[in-house]
Structure 1
């Protein structure tokens, strides 16, 4: 048995898992953001609560782990940013510790046990507050240099105009330091940013989606532009990776009409012609991070 954690900027979720990725969640606590000792103590206490004994620990975490040196980049949990989190926790907890990006864990879970099961190349994508992704080939996460494989949301890839008729789109500044990233126009915050630019209205993404589904012309214009802007970079990612299915997670994955619209636009832009949907809703909500962490840790112990 192993203790798995899904760690975000607001909460830590804990579960006991079996090697085949079956998880039993048992606790949820607030994430200590600024105190590393409190962070370690929280994980140790949760391990004791779960009763995993000498079993190892697996973490699905917001942030990126550099496979060359195990250093974690995690801006929204300052106390662990820049640390060799896996080795440090292993020393403090006295058990093996496996750490991976939450989008990678999502992709692995969906590839092995979810919507991507039976497919060789699975590109799991997150369309939530922002844009993320993870690439799984033959049941293994592709980490890549710096740990950034699958990050299709970043890089200056967004077109300068979108929609029909076309409208100019600014190169919005991104939190990664670049301008024109898919993350600036994709996801919930991107939808709100586009709607504000196109209409001047400051409303939540949920309201924009509801208005679009109700037939509102302004909201429809915003959604059309977002799909136009996001579909081309995503199609390029598919052409490069050869992915044949893309499980979609995140808040906006709960809007089937939006995913279907994006899927159609993507399939019109890729080299391979297929009538089968490529973008499909994930099957493992609400715990793909915990499931992916368990599977990843088991793979690590088999090596």
Structure 2
């Protein structure tokens, strides 16, 4: 048995499992972001609640970056763990082995082993959530990359400034990573909202923009057209470089099957490989992807 966790900046979810597909949910609690002792106590409480035997492992999917060489966590959303080797500290306090991985990596591992990527050799998981993220699995083994940054396609000055969808000229927006022109600035939910504001001067959440587009609203349709024009070329480049068999899309924008189908239709003509089937597809595991991926990693799959 393993106790697995999906930890974000606001919520900790926990479950026990004997296989990645056999989750028994233990509930959720607010994430203690400022006090490490309280953070450890919450983890310990869930382990006790699940009844995991002494010495049984813990696996954690967490927001932030985990250096695969050192285990060091960089996590601005949870200051009390930032700069810590979380796996070692929890292992020492709870007297059991602990595996910690980035939430994007756990997402793609879950999709590769139990979701839309089942049966495919190379899986690139694309996250279109608040921002843009991703991860890579090859032969059901996670490829975290140097510094734990494999699959992070949302950064780098790559966004086009001239497109054949109005407006024809766009500025490069500043990114939280310190660069400007990153896909993260226009490619996730906040990016879609930024484009809509730039085009129409209106503040709308991404969910409302997608709903209005689906209903035929002209302003929302212009925003979606621009969003896809900016997103599709970088995603096609990622596909050409990595060569995935399939690209499951997670995050909030991944919930719109119509949007994902539009992205797929825009990406496939731009790649070298000719496919007569969808390549960019909705993720199958949404709410539990972090827990499933953590369980798979902790149980030895993907390591």
Q: Which runs of 5+ in 1 are unaligned?
A: none
Is the partner of 2:230 in helix, strand or coil? helix
Alignment of 1:160-175 (within 5 A): 160-165=161-166, 167-175=168-176
* Residue of structure 2 in register with 1:80 after alignment: 81
Counterpart Cα distance in 1 of 2:213 and 2:187: 16
Instruction: Say if 2:221 is the partner of 1:220.
Output: yes
Asked if structure 2 preserves the Cα contact closer than 8 Å seen for 1:195 and 1:219, the reply is yes
* Residue of structure 2 in register with 1:35 after alignment: 35
* Residue of structure 2 in register with 1:255 after alignment: 256
* Residue of structure 1 in register with 2:271 after alignment: 270
* Residue of structure 2 in register with 1:60 after alignment: 61
Write out the 4+ residue segments of structure 1 that deviate beyond 4 Å after TM superposition.
Answer: none
TM-score by length of 1: 0.97
How far does the alpha carbon of each residue in 1:63-114 deviate from its partner, in whole angstroms, 9 at most, with x for none?
A: 1100111101111001001111111111111000000011110100110111
Instruction: Say if 2:22 is the partner of 1:22.
Output: yes
Quote the offset at 1:214 in angstroms.
Answer: 1.6
| Greater mean deviation of Cα atoms: 17-26 or 218-227 | 17-26
Is the partner of 2:3 in helix, strand or coil? strand
Instruction: Say if 2:44 is the partner of 1:44.
Output: yes
Aligned residue pairs total: 302
Counterpart Cα distance in 2 of 1:164 and 1:75: 36
Q: Which runs of 5+ in 2 are unaligned?
A: none
Is the partner of 2:300 in helix, strand or coil? helix
Counterpart Cα distance in 2 of 1:167 and 1:108: 38
Alignment of 1:31-180 (within 5 A): 31-54=31-54, 55-165=56-166, 167-180=168-181
Instruction: Say if 2:207 is the partner of 1:189.
Output: no
Counterpart Cα distance in 1 of 2:172 and 2:259: 23
Counterpart Cα distance in 2 of 1:28 and 1:138: 32
* Residue of structure 1 in register with 2:10 after alignment: 10
Is the partner of 1:181 in helix, strand or coil? coil
* Residue of structure 1 in register with 2:247 after alignment: 246
Is the partner of 1:168 in helix, strand or coil? coil
Quote the offset at 1:237 in angstroms.
Answer: 0.6
Counterpart Cα distance in 1 of 2:286 and 2:124: 17
Quote the offset at 1:163 in angstroms.
Answer: 4.1
Quote the offset at 1:161 in angstroms.
Answer: 2.4
Quote the offset at 1:21 in angstroms.
Answer: 4.0
Q: Provide the alpha-carbon RMSD of the alignment.
A: 1.3
Is the partner of 1:262 in helix, strand or coil? helix
* Residue of structure 2 in register with 1:279 after alignment: 280
TM-score by length of 2: 0.97
Quote the offset at 1:155 in angstroms.
Answer: 1.2
